Structure 1
Amino acid sequence: MNDHAHEPHVANRAYRVSGAILGVLLVASGIYVLWTDAVDLLALGGVALLIAFGGNLLFSAWRGRASWLGKLGPLP
């Protein structure tokens, strides 16, 4: 199944570039939190989420598909 048929905005170059930039920022934020001195269990959970969502945004921008954050739907 092709995601472009159902979601044509995902193939837009500006959408993909902005998703890639946000993905890099999320991954960089996760790495920054990991390198701080005050790392506890809650911080490690946040790091895992930041890196997972950022990596998924990067992969989705590269492949031209909808990311996990894009599949959440319209948020208020």
Structure 2
Amino acid sequence: VSEGDDKPVKYPKAFVKTDLVVLNKTDMLRYSDFNIDFFSSKVRELNPPVIIIPVSCKTGDNLKSWTEWIKKLLKSK
């Protein structure tokens, strides 16, 4: 969040082949002009099936979704 919502536009290669995007610092959204809808739409233009998990490591918001994704990945290996 603190780095800006334009990262998919500036660095598309970072988003094209990934399975998961973890968007951290969502607790800071109210203090920034980061547009999560814009960010998500640009990521999905590059990689439609990608999973985007917004989290806040500071508050713990949505960390369970992230850890569940990791557990599922480990079980599939």
Same fold (TM over 0.5): no
More helix by share: 1
TM-score with structure 1 setting the length? 0.26
TM-score with structure 2 setting the length? 0.26
More strand by share: 2
